[in-house]
Amino acid sequence: MKDLDTKMAFSKMKYCPDCGIKMIYKHAGIYECPQCGKMDKDDFGKVKTFLDENGPTPAAIVSQETGVPMITINEFLRLGKVEIPENSDVFIKCEKCGTDIRYGRYCPECIKSLSNKIRGALAEDVVGEKPRRKRIGEQDNNKMFFLDKRR
């Protein structure tokens, strides 16, 4: 089992390109300079803003348009910062049993058995949601999944 405590730090330090002082983290990956009010975005801010403006979009396009690497986008999905919409044909997998989930790392069933072991650790952060629609047919792992922001 992977260490549930190893979370990536997305809130990196940002400095205002004009004033050179530390920018303040506002929300959803958006930073603001306390002096001149200039806004800047980290990778999550870029993805979130793109999805706000464009709606559900294939992950590859999001990556292309925002310049945020796929590996980072996958990490956002695993952390539940973004999700795959209900009507998608392709989902990510529960890391334990391999069932489809829309975001997170484990399906609700697996998190139950896992949380008995980890006792109150980060269950909320890693539990995903299964798509309600049952898929028919074989999984095609080369198919690209869509991304949506979390509601």
Cα→Cα distances 134→4, 5, 130, 150, Å? 29, 32, 9, 21
- What's the CA angle centered on 30, arms 28 and 33, to 5 degrees? 150
Cα→Cα distances 31→44, 63, 97, Å? 11, 21, 38
Verify binding: residue 107, Zn ion, rule CB under 5 A: yes
Verify binding: residue 110, Zn ion, rule CB under 5 A: yes
Instruction: Select from 6-14, 31-39, 80-88, 142-150 the region that touches Zn ion (CB under 5 A).
Output: 31-39
**Residue of 36, 70, 121, 122 interacting with Zn ion (CB under 5 A):** 36
**Residue of 11, 12, 19, 22 interacting with Zn ion (CB under 5 A):** 19
Verify binding: residue 38, Zn ion, rule CB under 5 A: yes
The two tokens of residue 34 are 């306390």
Kindly list the residues in this chain that would bind Zn ion in the complex (CB under 5 A).
16, 18-19, 33, 35-36, 38, 94, 96-97, 107, 110
